[in-house]
Chain A
Amino acid sequence: MSIAIAAGVLVAGAVYLFSRREMLRVILGFVLLSHAVNLIIIAAGGTDRRDEPIGGDLDPSLVADPLPQAFVLTAIVIAFAITIVMLVLAVTGRHDDDMSQPPQRDSEPGTQASQPTREQGGTS
């Protein structure tokens, strides 16, 4: 039960952060969401009916299921890698965080001076 509530709270936090405009907050939202899913995977192993695998002479059906833990490890590594990619994206395109303001274009000479309107309409 506590795992279910924890996952629910994490998802709620993630959804709240997704509703923000900034890329950084969206990324933090994804961090929360991946934690929530990791908890779900752990719970899928049956945490309510299994105990910790400590001691000798253990019954495999009563101690913690190792497979979901392997899943979670893999998922954490993948989520970590993608978080880095997203952080890079957050840095390289800082100016389009808030679309309600006119985007600041980079002042590379000659690329935008000729027809600025085109670029703005380009996000269709």
Chain B
Amino acid sequence: MTGAMLPLLVAVPLVAAAVLVLLARRTRSTLVVLTAVLALGLAGAVATVVASADGGTLAHGVGLWPVGIAIPFAADMLTALMLTATMLLTLTCTAFAIASGFARRRYFAPLVLVLTAGVNGALLTADLFNLFVFIEVMLLPSYALFILAAPGKARLRRIAGARMYVLVNLLTSTVFLAGVAFVYGVAGTVNLAELAGAAASSDAVAVAMAICLFALSIKAAVFPVHGWLTQAYPATSPAMTAMFSGLHTKVAIYAIYRIYAVVFEGDSRFLWIGVVAFTVTMIVGVLGAVGEKSPRAILTFNMVSGIGYILMGVALFGVAGLAAGIFYLIHHMIVKASLFLSTGAIEVRYGTGSLDRLGGLARREPLIAVAFFAAALSLAGIPPFSGFVGKLGLVLASVSEGQLVAAGVMVLASLVTLMSMLKIWSNAFWGKPQAPDGSSPAPHPWPLERGAHAHHEASTVLSPVQHPEDATHHERSRISLPLALPAVFLVVVSLALGLGAEFLLGLSETAAQGLVDTSGYVEAVLNS
């Protein structure tokens, strides 16, 4: 992997998407191409990790224009780790979407590829305006995928979620764009390398960058501006919730890490804002989770809480804190997607995610039950899973930075997280299986093409599409192996990262060093 190959991570998915639009009717072949391109992207991302393992930075100015005009692409260890994690998640969620039938919707494959191109571009670019463009490239297919999840005749809730999603993201992007304009106005450049340290030395640049960071915090769903996430995410299809949870907010988090490290050079004057906001985010997230009723809503609120943990790494700016934050970021992406996929598999096959309507699944779906339980423990931070390593690192870093309140909140929020997870566990997996009489939902397997429509919405569930033959093989597992495997796979990854934590910890420490001392990154971009 060399610097000049970085643009391929954006170009290949985009070109493939364009070709697949023409072939959109031949679903099967589009899915083969989709999987192949994603696998190729994953290989490229892993190669980037290998290439930046020595702490170096790959960089390339597209078109060899002079710095400041060219589109700069740069990848250090943090970028490479994020690329690998996002590609892995996209691939896994695509596998789930194929198994659940959602992927058979026309244009699914090209949309996912454009999404991938946008995510990769946003992670790779070292230019604020390009970041805006790539975030839009990432969001536009997401709007379409969000709406694809709605059944033929969209009902109220779906559309409301989609509108909210589009409007909030557009408003945020517009605010971000205004911030970029102000940065250009006061600094005369939007290239991250040329902006290095600008916010630390000039208050005008700091204010302009703060507008950008504020917009990114909305996208990341930090406490006072997290409400859109918890409304929008449960409203789409399970496969898409899992994919978006791993990509969108995490790209914003990555940008916050990068911008604060490069432009602010970790300026300690502003860190207290982060400590306060992210601590409150952790608490508000878990408390919201305890109050929710459907697994996906609980998980979305837990996600808000997790975002507080991840960003605490920036607020504790230092090698230990950043490394723990990056570790937690990767862990969170994987585990969260696993949880969304395991509960999503239940939603797709049982037609409901409502905890009042599920029960006794542990006996009936042992594989999903084990996957969910393990991922829940990992999310709460129980050894030997990856969550334990990440949370331990963050708590230790907060204590050594003197942020005792934050450390206490982290431990407390973990306990509440466990509680909210147990709520799903005891309601959906333990307890009596729901009898298929008239009042409780008659569980029926959704035919494959309707699988995508089968959501937590009770109205959908209670449609009198009855399958009387179900009563006979009531005890049989209904979630097929291909549908369960993505969630299981991600749990195994989490377990491996927990048992072999040294490996990822080493990589995230390299990434953290690159953030504390940004001279290598800056130099690479300037010489690209």
Contacts and interface: CB of A to CB of B under 8 A. Distances in A.
The answer to whether A and B interact is yes
A119 B457 contact: yes
A111 B458 contact: no
A114 B462 contact: yes
A49 to B, nearest CB: 12
Contacts of A92: 154, 159
A113 to B, nearest CB: 8
A43 B458 contact: no
Interface in A32-90: 33-34, 37, 40-41, 43-46, 67-68, 71, 74-75, 78, 81-82, 85-86, 89
Contacts of A43: 181, 185
A45 B181 CA distance: 9
B527 interface: no
Contact of A34 (B69, B157, B174): B174
Given A93-B159, A95-B156, A122-B157, A111 B460 contact: yes
B459 A86 contact: no
Interface residues of A, number: 42
B166 to A, nearest CB: 6
Interface string B185-197: 1000000000000
B473 interface: no
A119 B155 contact: yes
B405 interface: no
B162 A68 contact: no
A118 B457 CA distance: 8
**Range of interface residues on B (Cβ < 8 Å):** 35 or more
Given A110-B463, A110-B464, A71 B129 contact: yes
A115 B459 contact: yes
Contacts of B464: 110, 114
Nearest to B465: A110
B138 to A, nearest CB: 12
Contact of B170 (A40, A82, A105, A111): A82
Interface string B126-161: 000100110010001001100100000111110110
A92 B174 CA distance: 24
B156 A114 contact: no
What DSSP secondary structure best describes chain B's contact surface? helix
Contact of A105 (B156, B174, B177, B458): B156
Contacts of B457: 118-119, 122
B458 A67 contact: no
Contacts of B166: 82, 85-86, 89
A40 B463 contact: no
Interface in B164-223: 166-167, 170-171, 174, 177-178, 180-182, 184-185
B163 interface: yes
A112 B459 contact: yes
Contact of A37 (B143, B174, B231, B297): B174
A110 B462 CA distance: 8
Contacts of A119: 155-157, 457-459
Contacts of A30: 167, 170-171, 174
B525 to A, nearest CB: 17
Given A30-B174, A112-B459, A119-B458, A45 B160 contact: no
Contacts of A116: 459
Given A30-B170, A41-B181, A106 B458 contact: no
Nearest to A122: B157
Contacts of A122: 156-157, 457-458
A41 B163 CA distance: 27
Contact of A75 (B155, B177, B463): B177
Nearest to B137: A78
A81 B140 contact: yes
Given A44-B184, A82-B166, A93-B156, A37 B177 contact: yes
Contacts of B185: 40, 43-46
Closest 6 CB pairs of A and B: A93-B159, A44-B185, A118-B458, A114-B462, A41-B181, A44-B184
Given A86-B166, A96-B160, A118-B459, 18 more contacts: A30-B170, A44-B182, A44-B184, A67-B184, A85-B144, A86-B167, A89-B163, A103-B156, A105-B156, A111-B460, A112-B459, A114-B459, A115-B458, A118-B458, A119-B156, A119-B459, A123-B157, A123-B231
27 contacts: A37-B178, A41-B181, A43-B185, A44-B185, A45-B184, A71-B129, A71-B184, A78-B136, A85-B140, A85-B144, A85-B166, A86-B166, A86-B167, A89-B163, A92-B154, A103-B156, A114-B459, A114-B462, A116-B459, A119-B156, A119-B157, A119-B458, A119-B459, A122-B157, A123-B157, A123-B160, A124-B297
